Structure 1
């Protein structure tokens, strides 16, 4: 069985990032960066192991304010998306990796773009899932009205109340789910409970809604050096498929894969498309 190891990475200024690696360190490294409010657990264990079975060394980690990583008082995060891109580079340093194949989802895709554009020598290839282009002045479709109606209820939520938060996050997962596959609400709720309890709550994670950044890469996406794969669901209610298309159109030679009926999630029924695509892209 492939080895799985965990370590805490100190990235400076009292910031510690919790990480976990799957597989053999001699295999091509793949760094997974997850999105807003989501700990590393939102890269499912079995998703990581399937990448390992395809001959990859996989590293996932908790972004600041999620999971077991450093957390801050809610309301005014003292860090930017550029700092979070620096965290990704520090994780690679801690594992002795000069460059990795970077896979980012949602906010993680934005962080991955900043990393690839500000430190191109660290990124062997870039895969962006369910995210939006950084640094391009484009008019793209907004978040869907249905999801926005749901999201506004978060303003009145008591984020220190476990029951309220789990109810909200379970509904949130339903709101962003695939329209092509069954949604297992009981399984999702059990997972959200696990994530909540491991993180000690999600109050600090709300800082991700107030993040600033991206100015350092303004206008640079067209200059991306890393080979690019874009994967996007056709019914994503947060970043519509036009966001993914805009990224691919901006980068010559990129590959664009749509997931028919795909939402803003890594639905297990779509892994048969997503994982082989990542493996091909990282060969």
Structure 2
């Protein structure tokens, strides 16, 4: 997937001089705003688009990722919500949209629905969006937890293949390094695309976002204010077969029970966090859940 295949590209200027880059691939469904994860970009949705070409998908690079400019101040969930609303406005999408978010994107999605419920029809959360019980408790711990991501930033990668190999070895061990969708996704990370280069990821923004997600009550407060139908698809593992999941079954059951019927949840067995979207089988499951959300209207 290339930017051109989205059909519509918007450079959305922000009041602080930043630019957020967003793309839309029109389809037959109601519009879906897709929000990627902590260290990813808009090209995370390559697998989903391949699985369901009919989805009308809007996806932006979050600030400090891909082509979008980093913030000069702290990166926060609230800041990402403001950017996503600006993207919708720039594309003329004033009516409520369905929102799908993976990992950090799930937390942004919940914050968006809590902040501007009139702009959101439903949420589809992919292994994210609900506060995690087992989480880092300090910025130092966060920096250690995401050292594999920030370690990418020190290298001028000679080619895409070497970068793909590093990501699979250090972050997503169940992904197939020969998957052409993975190459498409990760090429957007690099300054020179398939010819390599530095990773277009702001390390401070990554840790800032993780800190707002894990070290504050922002995510829990937003979840308590949720007022739109929400589905959570959660993975059996976190990073590799047998690893502890982001959410245990008991933790998910507690979120569902506290939601007064707004939240439903489904376990995706045999997949880890990355594989919920970045594999053919995970994308198929994600599309199935998203289609249920789309059926709500």
Name the TM-score, length of structure 2 as normaliser. Answer: 0.75
Preserved CA contact (<8 Å) 2:109 2:123: yes
For 2:234 and 2:119, locate their aligned partners in 1 and report how far apart those are by CA, in whole Å.
Answer: 24
Q: Deviations over 1:35-83 (max 9, x none)?
A: 1121111111x52254442xx321011000111111357xxx5332211
Q: Could you tell me how far 1:119 is from its partner in structure 2?
A: 1.1
CA 1:153–1:175: 2 relative to 1, 3 Å: closer
Q: Could you tell me how far 1:274 is from its partner in structure 2?
A: 1.6
Output aligned runs, 1:65-76, within 5 Å: 65-71=64-70
Output aligned runs, 1:179-190, within 5 Å: 183-187=175-179, 188=182
Q: Does 1:110 align with 2:110?
A: no
What residue is the counterpart of 1:95 in the other structure? 91
CA 1:68–1:133: 2 relative to 1, 3 Å: same
Q: Secondary structure at the match of 2:67?
A: coil
What residue is the counterpart of 2:289 in the other structure? 277
Structure 1 residue runs without a partner (length 5+): none
What residue is the counterpart of 1:201 in the other structure? 198
Q: Does 1:13 align with 2:16?
A: yes
Q: Secondary structure at the match of 2:198?
A: coil
25, 28, 33: which one aligns with 2:30: 28
For 2:9 and 2:200, locate their aligned partners in 1 and report how far apart those are by CA, in whole Å.
Answer: 24
**Aligned-pair Cα RMSD in Å:** 3.4
What residue is the counterpart of 2:268 in the other structure? 259
For 2:280 and 2:103, locate their aligned partners in 1 and report how far apart those are by CA, in whole Å.
Answer: 17
For 2:289 and 2:272, locate their aligned partners in 1 and report how far apart those are by CA, in whole Å.
Answer: 18
Preserved CA contact (<8 Å) 1:34 1:106: yes
CA 1:131–1:239: 2 relative to 1, 3 Å: farther
Q: Could you tell me how far 1:164 is from its partner in structure 2?
A: 8.9
Output aligned runs, 1:1-283, within 5 Å: 4-24=7-27, 27-44=29-46, 46-53=47-54, 56-71=55-70, 77-97=73-93, 98-134=95-131, 139-140=133-134, 151-152=146-147, 157=151, 159-163=153-157, 170-174=165-169, 177=172, 183-187=175-179, 188=182, 191-197=185-191, 201-202=198-199, 204-206=201-203, 207-211=205-209, 212-213=211-212, 215=217, 218-237=220-239, 240-242=246-248, 244-253=252-261, 254-265=263-274, 266=277, 267-283=279-295
Structure 2 residue runs without a partner (length 5+): 138-142
For 2:146 and 2:120, locate their aligned partners in 1 and report how far apart those are by CA, in whole Å.
Answer: 33
Q: Could you tell me how far 1:31 is from its partner in structure 2?
A: 0.3
For 2:99 and 2:185, locate their aligned partners in 1 and report how far apart those are by CA, in whole Å.
Answer: 25
Preserved CA contact (<8 Å) 1:67 1:198: no
For 2:152 and 2:167, locate their aligned partners in 1 and report how far apart those are by CA, in whole Å.
Answer: 16
Name the TM-score, length of structure 1 as normaliser. Answer: 0.78
For 2:89 and 2:79, locate their aligned partners in 1 and report how far apart those are by CA, in whole Å.
Answer: 15
Preserved CA contact (<8 Å) 2:109 2:129: no
CA 1:186–1:27: 2 relative to 1, 3 Å: closer
